[in-house]
Amino acid sequence: MATWAYLGLQDSASPLMEQLIFFHDHIMTVLVLIVTFVGYIMSTLFFNSFINRYMLENQPIEVIWTSIPAVILIFIALPSLQLLYLLDEVNSPSLTLKTIGHQWYWSYEYSDFLHLEFDSYMTPTNELSDSSFRLLDVDNRTVLPMNTQIRVLISAADVIHSWTVPSLGVKADAIPGRLNQTSFLVSRPGLFYGQCSEICGANHSFMPIVIESVSINSFLNWISLSTEE
């Protein structure tokens, strides 16, 4: 999760987020090179005493400064399109999680396992333990197995919400009457925090998301205990 002094992206916990970080670094490298080059050209104009009063056009230069930006845009667009298709693709999911946004909490359903469902509310400040995070912890965490392809079906019961977990590279709108789909694979165990990212009313800031990534055996044990209850 991000802390108060965190200036960059959160550490990735999924292959999709790794690719998003790589693409961000790729774009930033291109931007730094462009800004450095343009800054150098602009600075030389202040000290250049050579002029040509009769030069009205120079077609080779115009071809160069038209073609080079086109090549740069292609250099950016190709990995962008590849990443866009990766984010939209759902490959044979092993587990389906249904997520419904409410004002102001999330409800989850594991329809693959005997109709297991629960609501997830933010933990009030007066009930937090010393190791909990204010405005981020919930009473019922969403437990998911690591190294497993997860499909999430997202909708809403009242207004538009957005189910977002930055470290997993996941952000999908929860729209009433519409079913959105996204998928991800959690590559390591841990707790991954998210929040609703669409202004949905007075308590928009108080409906966090907590993904608890565990081993497959621990997940199956949790499922068996939860269904017994």
The CATH number for 95-228, chosen from 2.60.40.420, 1.10.1200.10, 1.10.10.10, 3.40.50.2000, is: 2.60.40.420
Average predicted confidence (pLDDT) for the chain: 88
Alpha-carbon distance 42 to 47, whole Å?
10
Q: Do the domains 15-88 and 95-228 sit in the same CATH topology, yes or no?
A: no
Residues recorded for the chain? 229
Whether the upstream peptide bond of residue 104 has omega within 30° of 0, thus cis, is yes
Alpha-carbon distance 190 to 211, whole Å?
8
Domain boundaries along the sequence of the chain: 15-88, 95-228
Alpha-carbon distance 70 to 225, whole Å?
58
pLDDT band with cut points at 50, 70 and 90 for residue 146: very high
Q: What is the pTM of this model?
A: 0.82
Which tens digits make up the pLDDT trace of 147-198? 999 999 999 999 999 999 999 999 999 999 999 999 999 999 999 999 999 9
Instruction: Name the strand (E) or helix (H) holding 40.
Output: helix 15-45
**17-31, 54-68, 151-165, 193-207: range with lowest mean pLDDT:** 54-68
- Whether CATH 1.10.287.90 fits 15-88: yes
